[in-house]
Protein backbone atom coordinates (compact mmCIF):
# COMPACT_ATOMS: atom_id res chain seq x y z
CA UNK A 1 0.00 0.00 0.00
CA UNK A 2 2.69 2.48 1.03
CA UNK A 3 4.65 1.52 -2.06
CA UNK A 4 1.63 2.12 -4.28
CA UNK A 5 1.25 5.61 -2.79
CA UNK A 6 4.99 6.35 -3.10
CA UNK A 7 5.58 5.10 -6.63
CA UNK A 8 2.22 4.49 -8.23
CA UNK A 9 0.51 1.14 -8.69
CA UNK A 10 1.92 0.34 -12.15
CA UNK A 11 5.53 1.01 -11.14
CA UNK A 12 5.46 -1.25 -8.09
CA UNK A 13 6.52 -4.89 -8.54
CA UNK A 14 5.46 -7.89 -6.49
CA UNK A 15 9.14 -8.41 -5.59
CA UNK A 16 9.23 -4.94 -3.98
CA UNK A 17 5.97 -5.46 -2.10
CA UNK A 18 7.13 -8.82 -0.79
CA UNK A 19 10.49 -7.36 0.31
CA UNK A 20 8.81 -4.47 2.15
CA UNK A 21 6.50 -6.93 3.92
CA UNK A 22 9.36 -9.28 4.74
CA UNK A 23 7.92 -12.07 2.58
CA UNK A 24 9.24 -14.13 -0.31
CA UNK A 25 7.44 -13.75 -3.64
CA UNK A 26 6.26 -17.33 -3.28
CA UNK A 27 4.64 -16.54 0.08
CA UNK A 28 3.08 -13.41 -1.42
CA UNK A 29 1.36 -15.47 -4.11
CA UNK A 30 0.10 -17.92 -1.49
CA UNK A 31 -1.87 -15.01 -0.02
CA UNK A 32 -2.79 -12.96 -3.08
CA UNK A 33 -3.70 -13.98 -6.64
CA UNK A 34 -1.95 -10.86 -8.00
CA UNK A 35 -0.70 -7.46 -6.88
CA UNK A 36 -4.15 -5.92 -7.28
CA UNK A 37 -5.60 -8.18 -4.60
CA UNK A 38 -3.46 -6.47 -1.95
CA UNK A 39 -5.85 -3.54 -2.24
CA UNK A 40 -8.97 -5.71 -1.91
CA UNK A 41 -8.03 -8.18 0.83
CA UNK A 42 -10.51 -6.46 3.19
CA UNK A 43 -13.49 -6.93 0.85
CA UNK A 44 -14.16 -10.50 1.98
CA UNK A 45 -14.21 -9.54 5.68
CA UNK A 46 -16.50 -6.58 4.97
CA UNK A 47 -18.93 -8.74 3.01
CA UNK A 48 -18.95 -11.34 5.79
CA UNK A 49 -19.70 -8.68 8.40
CA UNK A 50 -22.52 -7.25 6.26
CA UNK A 51 -24.14 -10.64 5.64
CA UNK A 52 -23.84 -11.60 9.34
CA UNK A 53 -25.32 -8.28 10.51
CA UNK A 54 -28.19 -8.71 8.05
CA UNK A 55 -28.88 -12.23 9.29
CA UNK A 56 -29.09 -11.05 12.90
CA UNK A 57 -31.33 -8.01 12.27
CA UNK A 58 -34.66 -8.14 14.14
CA UNK A 59 -37.49 -9.79 12.20
CA UNK A 60 -39.45 -6.56 12.37
CA UNK A 61 -36.79 -4.53 10.51
CA UNK A 62 -37.80 -3.36 7.03
CA UNK A 63 -35.38 -4.73 4.39
CA UNK A 64 -33.92 -1.32 3.54
CA UNK A 65 -33.31 -0.53 7.21
CA UNK A 66 -31.69 -3.93 7.82
CA UNK A 67 -29.40 -3.27 4.83
CA UNK A 68 -28.57 0.22 6.09
CA UNK A 69 -27.69 -1.10 9.55
CA UNK A 70 -25.38 -3.70 7.99
CA UNK A 71 -23.68 -1.06 5.83
CA UNK A 72 -23.26 1.21 8.86
CA UNK A 73 -21.47 -1.66 10.63
CA UNK A 74 -19.21 -1.98 7.58
CA UNK A 75 -18.64 1.78 7.65
CA UNK A 76 -17.54 1.58 11.28
CA UNK A 77 -15.05 -1.16 10.37
CA UNK A 78 -13.72 0.85 7.42
CA UNK A 79 -13.08 3.96 9.44
CA UNK A 80 -11.09 1.96 11.98
CA UNK A 81 -8.49 1.85 9.19
CA UNK A 82 -7.60 5.48 9.89
CA UNK A 83 -6.11 7.11 6.78
CA UNK A 84 -5.67 3.77 5.00
CA UNK A 85 -9.07 3.84 3.17
CA UNK A 86 -8.38 7.31 1.77
CA UNK A 87 -4.86 6.37 0.62
CA UNK A 88 -6.26 3.21 -0.92
CA UNK A 89 -8.89 5.20 -2.79
CA UNK A 90 -6.21 7.52 -4.23
CA UNK A 91 -4.40 4.50 -5.66
CA UNK A 92 -7.62 3.06 -7.11
CA UNK A 93 -8.77 6.38 -8.59
CA UNK A 94 -5.52 6.61 -10.55
CA UNK A 95 -5.88 3.22 -12.27
CA UNK A 96 -8.69 2.09 -14.58
CA UNK A 97 -8.07 -1.62 -13.97
CA UNK A 98 -8.39 -1.15 -10.20
CA UNK A 99 -11.61 0.82 -10.66
CA UNK A 100 -12.98 -2.12 -12.62
CA UNK A 101 -12.08 -4.52 -9.86
CA UNK A 102 -13.77 -2.19 -7.36
CA UNK A 103 -16.94 -2.25 -9.51
CA UNK A 104 -16.85 -6.05 -9.55
CA UNK A 105 -16.47 -6.22 -5.77
CA UNK A 106 -19.46 -3.90 -5.35
CA UNK A 107 -21.56 -6.03 -7.72
CA UNK A 108 -20.57 -9.16 -5.78
CA UNK A 109 -21.52 -7.42 -2.54
CA UNK A 110 -24.92 -6.43 -3.98
CA UNK A 111 -25.59 -10.09 -4.88
CA UNK A 112 -24.54 -11.22 -1.39
CA UNK A 113 -26.86 -8.68 0.24
CA UNK A 114 -29.77 -9.71 -2.00
CA UNK A 115 -29.06 -13.35 -1.09
CA UNK A 116 -29.02 -12.55 2.64
CA UNK A 117 -32.36 -10.74 2.29
CA UNK A 118 -33.89 -13.74 0.52
CA UNK A 119 -32.68 -15.87 3.46
CA UNK A 120 -34.73 -13.52 5.67
CA UNK A 121 -37.77 -14.29 3.55
CA UNK A 122 -37.77 -11.07 1.50
CA UNK A 123 -39.15 -11.89 -1.96
CA UNK A 124 -37.77 -10.61 -5.25
CA UNK A 125 -37.69 -7.99 -6.69
CA UNK A 126 -37.77 -6.30 -3.24
CA UNK A 127 -34.59 -8.17 -2.19
CA UNK A 128 -32.62 -7.10 -5.29
CA UNK A 129 -33.94 -3.55 -5.15
CA UNK A 130 -33.14 -3.09 -1.45
CA UNK A 131 -29.64 -4.52 -2.08
CA UNK A 132 -28.97 -2.28 -5.10
CA UNK A 133 -30.40 0.76 -3.32
CA UNK A 134 -28.18 -0.01 -0.33
CA UNK A 135 -25.11 -0.20 -2.56
CA UNK A 136 -26.11 3.11 -4.17
CA UNK A 137 -26.33 4.73 -0.74
CA UNK A 138 -23.02 3.20 0.34
CA UNK A 139 -21.25 4.29 -2.84
CA UNK A 140 -22.44 7.91 -2.57
CA UNK A 141 -21.76 8.07 1.19
CA UNK A 142 -18.30 6.56 0.83
CA UNK A 143 -17.36 9.06 -1.87
CA UNK A 144 -18.54 11.99 0.27
CA UNK A 145 -16.58 10.66 3.22
CA UNK A 146 -13.43 10.07 1.14
CA UNK A 147 -13.55 13.56 -0.37
CA UNK A 148 -14.03 15.34 2.95
CA UNK A 149 -11.18 14.46 5.33
CA UNK A 150 -12.87 16.55 8.05
CA UNK A 151 -15.77 14.09 7.92
CA UNK A 152 -14.94 11.52 10.56
CA UNK A 153 -18.08 9.49 10.97
CA UNK A 154 -18.75 7.20 8.00
CA UNK A 155 -21.75 5.37 9.55
CA UNK A 156 -23.40 8.78 10.12
CA UNK A 157 -22.82 9.75 6.47
CA UNK A 158 -24.37 6.43 5.39
CA UNK A 159 -27.43 7.04 7.58
CA UNK A 160 -27.78 10.57 6.23
CA UNK A 161 -27.43 9.38 2.61
CA UNK A 162 -30.16 6.79 3.18
CA UNK A 163 -32.47 9.55 4.45
CA UNK A 164 -31.65 11.54 1.32
CA UNK A 165 -32.37 8.54 -0.90
CA UNK A 166 -35.73 8.14 0.83
CA UNK A 167 -36.49 11.81 0.07
CA UNK A 168 -35.30 11.42 -3.55
CA UNK A 169 -37.40 8.32 -4.26
CA UNK A 170 -40.41 9.93 -2.57
CA UNK A 171 -40.14 12.40 -5.46
CA UNK A 172 -39.12 15.50 -3.52
CA UNK B 1 -23.31 -11.47 -32.59
CA UNK B 2 -24.64 -14.55 -34.38
CA UNK B 3 -21.14 -15.99 -34.37
CA UNK B 4 -20.81 -15.38 -30.63
CA UNK B 5 -24.06 -17.27 -30.08
CA UNK B 6 -23.04 -20.11 -32.42
CA UNK B 7 -19.48 -20.68 -31.22
CA UNK B 8 -19.04 -18.78 -27.99
CA UNK B 9 -17.32 -15.43 -27.54
CA UNK B 10 -13.80 -16.77 -26.85
CA UNK B 11 -13.78 -19.04 -29.90
CA UNK B 12 -14.76 -16.34 -32.38
CA UNK B 13 -11.97 -14.40 -34.10
CA UNK B 14 -12.12 -10.88 -35.48
CA UNK B 15 -11.30 -12.33 -38.93
CA UNK B 16 -14.47 -14.45 -38.76
CA UNK B 17 -16.64 -11.55 -37.60
CA UNK B 18 -15.31 -9.30 -40.35
CA UNK B 19 -15.87 -12.00 -43.00
CA UNK B 20 -19.47 -12.58 -41.88
CA UNK B 21 -20.12 -8.82 -42.00
CA UNK B 22 -18.43 -8.44 -45.38
CA UNK B 23 -15.67 -6.23 -43.98
CA UNK B 24 -11.88 -6.42 -43.95
CA UNK B 25 -10.20 -6.72 -40.56
CA UNK B 26 -8.77 -3.27 -41.07
CA UNK B 27 -12.26 -1.79 -41.54
CA UNK B 28 -13.47 -3.71 -38.49
CA UNK B 29 -10.83 -2.05 -36.33
CA UNK B 30 -11.77 1.36 -37.70
CA UNK B 31 -15.21 0.83 -36.14
CA UNK B 32 -14.42 -1.17 -33.00
CA UNK B 33 -11.47 -1.04 -30.59
CA UNK B 34 -11.69 -4.81 -30.08
CA UNK B 35 -14.09 -7.73 -30.53
CA UNK B 36 -15.80 -7.00 -27.20
CA UNK B 37 -16.96 -3.60 -28.43
CA UNK B 38 -19.24 -5.26 -31.02
CA UNK B 39 -21.49 -6.13 -28.10
CA UNK B 40 -21.49 -2.59 -26.70
CA UNK B 41 -21.78 -0.41 -29.80
CA UNK B 42 -25.33 0.54 -28.76
CA UNK B 43 -24.30 1.85 -25.33
CA UNK B 44 -23.31 5.28 -26.66
CA UNK B 45 -26.63 5.79 -28.45
CA UNK B 46 -28.57 4.69 -25.35
CA UNK B 47 -26.65 7.08 -23.12
CA UNK B 48 -27.21 9.93 -25.56
CA UNK B 49 -30.96 9.21 -25.65
CA UNK B 50 -31.12 9.10 -21.85
CA UNK B 51 -29.22 12.38 -21.38
CA UNK B 52 -31.31 14.11 -24.08
CA UNK B 53 -34.59 12.88 -22.58
CA UNK B 54 -33.47 14.07 -19.15
CA UNK B 55 -32.57 17.51 -20.50
CA UNK B 56 -36.00 17.93 -22.08
CA UNK B 57 -38.04 16.77 -19.05
CA UNK B 58 -40.45 19.42 -17.71
CA UNK B 59 -38.95 21.67 -15.00
CA UNK B 60 -41.61 20.46 -12.60
CA UNK B 61 -40.54 16.79 -12.84
CA UNK B 62 -38.97 15.36 -9.67
CA UNK B 63 -35.41 14.12 -10.37
CA UNK B 64 -36.27 10.44 -9.83
CA UNK B 65 -39.27 10.69 -12.18
CA UNK B 66 -37.22 12.47 -14.85
CA UNK B 67 -34.62 9.68 -14.60
CA UNK B 68 -37.32 7.01 -14.81
CA UNK B 69 -38.84 8.60 -17.92
CA UNK B 70 -35.41 8.67 -19.58
CA UNK B 71 -34.79 5.02 -18.71
CA UNK B 72 -38.20 4.07 -20.06
CA UNK B 73 -37.29 5.74 -23.35
CA UNK B 74 -34.07 3.68 -23.36
CA UNK B 75 -36.12 0.56 -22.59
CA UNK B 76 -38.36 1.25 -25.59
CA UNK B 77 -35.28 1.56 -27.82
CA UNK B 78 -33.80 -1.68 -26.44
CA UNK B 79 -36.91 -3.72 -27.08
CA UNK B 80 -36.99 -2.56 -30.68
CA UNK B 81 -33.98 -4.90 -31.03
CA UNK B 82 -36.33 -7.91 -30.92
CA UNK B 83 -34.46 -10.99 -29.67
CA UNK B 84 -31.04 -9.34 -30.05
CA UNK B 85 -30.86 -7.99 -26.44
CA UNK B 86 -31.61 -11.45 -24.99
CA UNK B 87 -29.05 -13.16 -27.25
CA UNK B 88 -26.51 -10.50 -26.36
CA UNK B 89 -27.15 -11.05 -22.65
CA UNK B 90 -26.55 -14.80 -23.05
CA UNK B 91 -23.14 -14.08 -24.56
CA UNK B 92 -22.27 -11.60 -21.79
CA UNK B 93 -23.47 -13.89 -18.99
CA UNK B 94 -21.08 -16.61 -20.21
CA UNK B 95 -17.94 -14.42 -20.04
CA UNK B 96 -16.47 -12.69 -16.97
CA UNK B 97 -14.59 -10.08 -18.99
CA UNK B 98 -17.77 -9.02 -20.80
CA UNK B 99 -19.63 -8.77 -17.50
CA UNK B 100 -16.91 -6.42 -16.28
CA UNK B 101 -17.28 -4.26 -19.34
CA UNK B 102 -21.04 -4.18 -18.78
CA UNK B 103 -20.46 -3.00 -15.18
CA UNK B 104 -18.18 -0.24 -16.47
CA UNK B 105 -20.77 0.91 -19.02
CA UNK B 106 -23.41 1.05 -16.27
CA UNK B 107 -21.10 3.09 -14.02
CA UNK B 108 -20.40 5.47 -16.91
CA UNK B 109 -24.13 5.78 -17.52
CA UNK B 110 -24.75 6.55 -13.83
CA UNK B 111 -22.17 9.38 -14.01
CA UNK B 112 -23.76 10.74 -17.19
CA UNK B 113 -27.23 10.73 -15.57
CA UNK B 114 -25.91 12.48 -12.44
CA UNK B 115 -24.24 15.07 -14.70
CA UNK B 116 -27.46 15.67 -16.64
CA UNK B 117 -29.36 16.15 -13.36
CA UNK B 118 -26.78 18.70 -12.17
CA UNK B 119 -27.35 20.54 -15.46
CA UNK B 120 -31.01 20.70 -14.46
CA UNK B 121 -29.99 22.35 -11.20
CA UNK B 122 -30.36 19.28 -8.98
CA UNK B 123 -27.75 19.57 -6.19
CA UNK B 124 -25.58 16.75 -4.88
CA UNK B 125 -26.02 14.28 -3.26
CA UNK B 126 -29.59 14.18 -4.66
CA UNK B 127 -28.24 14.07 -8.24
CA UNK B 128 -25.91 11.12 -7.55
CA UNK B 129 -28.52 9.28 -5.50
CA UNK B 130 -31.28 9.67 -8.10
CA UNK B 131 -28.84 8.49 -10.80
CA UNK B 132 -27.66 5.45 -8.81
CA UNK B 133 -31.23 4.60 -7.79
CA UNK B 134 -32.27 4.87 -11.44
CA UNK B 135 -29.50 2.49 -12.48
CA UNK B 136 -30.55 0.07 -9.71
CA UNK B 137 -34.12 0.11 -11.03
CA UNK B 138 -32.95 -0.32 -14.60
CA UNK B 139 -30.64 -3.21 -13.72
CA UNK B 140 -33.34 -5.10 -11.81
CA UNK B 141 -36.00 -4.41 -14.46
CA UNK B 142 -33.71 -5.41 -17.32
CA UNK B 143 -32.85 -8.70 -15.62
CA UNK B 144 -36.53 -9.50 -15.04
CA UNK B 145 -37.31 -8.69 -18.64
CA UNK B 146 -34.38 -10.76 -19.96
CA UNK B 147 -35.33 -13.78 -17.85
CA UNK B 148 -38.99 -13.75 -18.85
CA UNK B 149 -39.32 -13.99 -22.64
CA UNK B 150 -43.10 -13.67 -22.28
CA UNK B 151 -42.53 -10.19 -20.85
CA UNK B 152 -42.71 -7.90 -23.86
CA UNK B 153 -42.89 -4.41 -22.43
CA UNK B 154 -39.57 -3.30 -20.94
CA UNK B 155 -40.65 0.31 -20.21
CA UNK B 156 -43.59 -1.07 -18.20
CA UNK B 157 -41.25 -3.33 -16.19
CA UNK B 158 -39.02 -0.31 -15.49
CA UNK B 159 -42.01 1.76 -14.30
CA UNK B 160 -43.17 -1.10 -12.09
CA UNK B 161 -39.68 -1.61 -10.64
CA UNK B 162 -39.48 2.08 -9.78
CA UNK B 163 -42.78 1.81 -7.89
CA UNK B 164 -41.35 -1.18 -6.04
CA UNK B 165 -38.18 0.73 -5.18
CA UNK B 166 -40.34 3.56 -3.83
CA UNK B 167 -42.15 1.03 -1.63
CA UNK B 168 -38.85 -0.56 -0.53
CA UNK B 169 -37.21 2.74 0.43
CA UNK B 170 -40.37 3.85 2.21
CA UNK B 171 -39.59 0.91 4.48
CA UNK B 172 -42.51 -1.34 3.63
The reply to whether A125 touches chain B by the CB within 8 Å rule is yes
Residues A27-69 have pLDDT tens digits of: 777 777 777 777 777 778 899 999 999 999 998 999 999 999 9
Domains (ranges, CATH) in chain A? 1-36 (1.10.10), 41-169 (1.10.357.10)
Instruction: Give the pTM.
Output: 0.84
Interface predicted TM-score (ipTM) of this complex, two decimals:
0.81
pLDDT of residue A26: 79
Residues A136 and B137: their CA atoms lie apart, in Å, by 11
Across the interface, whether the CB atoms of B172 and A139 are under 8 A apart is answered no
CB B157 within 8 A of CB B144: yes
Does residue B120 carry a pLDDT above 70?
yes
Q: Is A170 on the interface with B (CB under 8 A)?
A: yes
d(CA A148, CA A142): 10
Interface of A with B in 1-60 (CB under 8 A): none
Q: How far apart are CA B105 and CA B41, in angstroms?
A: 11
Say if the Cβ atoms of B126 and A171 lie within 8 Å: no
Contact A32, A43 (CB under 8 A): no
CA distance A1 to chain B (A): 24
Q: Smallest Cα–Cα separation from B58: which of B120, B128, B149?
A: B120
Nearest alpha-carbon partner for B74 in B148, B155, B157 = B155
Higher pLDDT, A146 or B44: A146
d(CA A70, CA B9): 38
Which sign, positive or negative, has the C-alpha torsion A44, A107, B159, B59?
positive
* pLDDT (0 to 100) of residue B87: 85
Chain B residues near residue A133 by CB distance under 8 angstroms: 133, 136, 165, 168-169
Mark yes or no for CB contact A165/B104 under 8 Å: no
Amino acid sequence: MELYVERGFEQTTVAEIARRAGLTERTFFRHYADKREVLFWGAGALQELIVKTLASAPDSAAPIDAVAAALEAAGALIQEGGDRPRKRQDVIAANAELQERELIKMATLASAIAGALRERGVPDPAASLAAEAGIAVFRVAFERWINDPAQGDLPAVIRQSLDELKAVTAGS
